[in-house]
Structure 1
Amino acid sequence: MTKVITSGKTVEDAVNQGLAELGVSRDKVEIQVLEQPSKGFLGLIGVKAAKVEVKLLPVPEAVPQRVEPAAHVPQVEAKLEDVAAKNPYEEAAAFLKEVAAGMGLDVEVDIKKQRDGHIFNIAGEDLGMIIGRRGQTLDALQYLTNIVANRYSESFVRIVLDAENFRQRRRKTLEDLAERLAGQAIRSGKEVVLEPMPPLERKVIHAKLQNHPQIKTYSKGEEPNRRVVIMTK
């Protein structure tokens, strides 16, 4: 896959989604804005998401480099050491603590490495403010934390935020919802359309019902109003 077309509430959201799908950093791609977002009438009707094309840049052919005079070498080495001194995960964790402090919270961040990225587990009191309604604040902080981390990394990094085991609890809630609505679709014989969900939550619904003998699912709509539809086969 050399290019993707993605949507988001803002151009930046759409770009970051494209970077995540391609698994590269911003300097490795060419970005073309296909559609600008709009709020629609009174900010309520006709909301239109941003749409962008994110395309991998061609890998340049190796070209012999001219050796610079020795006098410049220490300067280059100093710059490399300065970059190496910035750990993207430590910088991201520091950012999180700073934001939490601004909310009047004292938190600790436990960083755990997994196969497809890193998990930041936030610990402290009154973490409901960090999580927000249905995890919306946590998702927003996760988005910003990934931006901060990738500023200090030459390759794309992915961070998932969690607090009070919210991600696992939310997953269980979504899986129970999927089963309940699948039963409703079977009994009524009609499609069941869920409320808009972010991509990761839609993925949980699809995964839970993908092997159901009587049910199939698909998504419809544009981000951020994309929804899962549950229907009988």
Structure 2
Amino acid sequence: MEYIEISKKTVDDCITEACAQLMVTSDKLEYEIISSGSTGFLGLNVKPAVIRARVKAEESEVTVKTSLEEQVDSKVKEKIEKKESKKNSDQKKSEVNIENPVASSEEKADKKISYVYDHEFINRAKEFLSNVFASMNMKVEVNAKYNETDKILEIELSGDEMGVLIGKRGQTLDSLQYLISLVVNRGSEDYIHVKVDTENYRERRKATLENLAKNIAYKVRKNRQPLSLEPMNPYERRIIHSALQNDKYVTTHSEGEEPFRRVVVTLKK
């Protein structure tokens, strides 16, 4: 099996991502460290860690057919990645300009959402997940519903080993969500959003980030110096922006390029 190259903030993050992409545990992963990365000085000259990884030879024949990437049509992947790229570009321009949460909740209250529990998208996702979990020797219950109103496929996973699926800061869960999106959107005229959750992780992570935002805001007020958070994905950065958008003393903005783009909290002038 050929090597794949992974670039992340740390070597541990690279290994976690490699395990997620190749669908194996770390003891079945063969990897070579290309660069250990560097945190730089005062946030300058930060260099990501890079590894080359593949499934160990004795495991490759078993896992090659269950590789997540091989189960997705490459043309569909390219199509979805273009849409995701455009969406991320739009997010960069409008991250700080978040909708009024009150108005948003009122709109949702007035909006009638139609859910279905038997749909082609649900069947595609369940078949894909069944193959994935079978290859991982995991027993996972999959519950799904399709929001026809907003074109959102919501998937809830449950079982005894959900920590494995969540991964570090939800990276494995995000990767799984992304790949399900590729499968579901194959041949679809409209873009179908996919949300995957387990053990209410998304809400718990949101609460954690909101508390983090408040703590950072307090430190910025106290020390009167800007603070930079760790790199986050667009969804998590929006949570930080939203949590502090009405703060009287601090403001937020994002700096850097993906995947190292981060939120910076500064004192209002």
Aligning the two structures, in what range does the TM-score lie when normalised by the shorter sequence?
0.5 to 0.7
Letter matched to residue 190 of structure 1: Q
Q: Report the counterpart of residue 57 of structure 1 in structure 2.
A: none
Q: Report the counterpart of residue 213 of structure 1 in structure 2.
A: 248
Q: Report the counterpart of residue 139 of structure 2 in structure 1.
A: 106
Shift of 1:121: 0.5
Q: Report the counterpart of residue 97 of structure 1 in structure 2.
A: 130
Letter matched to residue 107 of structure 1: V
* Corresponding pairs, count: 162
Consecutive unaligned residues of structure 2, counting only runs of 5 or more, are: 1-7, 9-76, 91-118
Letter matched to residue 144 of structure 1: L
RMSD: 2.4
Shift of 1:153: 2.0
Letter matched to residue 165 of structure 1: N
Shift of 1:98: 1.6
2:225 aligned with 1:190: yes
Q: Report the counterpart of residue 33 of structure 2 in structure 1.
A: none
2:239 aligned with 1:204: yes
Of all paired residues, the percent bearing the same amino acid is 41
Q: Within 5 A, what are the aligned runs for 1:28-107? A: 87-107=120-140
Q: Within 5 A, what are the aligned runs for 1:138-157? A: 138-157=173-192
Residues 223 and 159 from structure 1, CA distance in 2 versus in 1: closer, same or farther, beyond 3 angstroms? same
Consecutive unaligned residues of structure 1, counting only runs of 5 or more, are: 1-8, 24-85
Q: What's the CA shift string for 1:94-126, capped at 9, x where partnerless?
A: 212221222221112111344542221011111
Q: Report the counterpart of residue 37 of structure 1 in structure 2.
A: none
Q: Distance in 2 between matches of 1:153 and 1:123?
A: 28
Shift of 1:22: 9.9
Q: Distance in 2 between matches of 1:90 and 1:20?
A: 26
Residues 22 and 205 from structure 1, CA distance in 2 versus in 1: closer, same or farther, beyond 3 angstroms? closer
Q: Report the counterpart of residue 32 of structure 2 in structure 1.
A: none
Shift of 1:18: 3.2
The 8 Å contact of residues 217 and 228 in structure 1, kept in 2 or not, is answered as yes
Q: What's the CA shift string for 1:73-95, capped at 9, x where partnerless?
A: xxxxxxxxxxxxx8123202221
Shift of 1:179: 0.4
Q: What's the CA shift string for 1:140-196, capped at 9, x where partnerless?
A: 001101000000422110001101110001001100000000001111111110010
Letter matched to residue 130 of structure 1: L
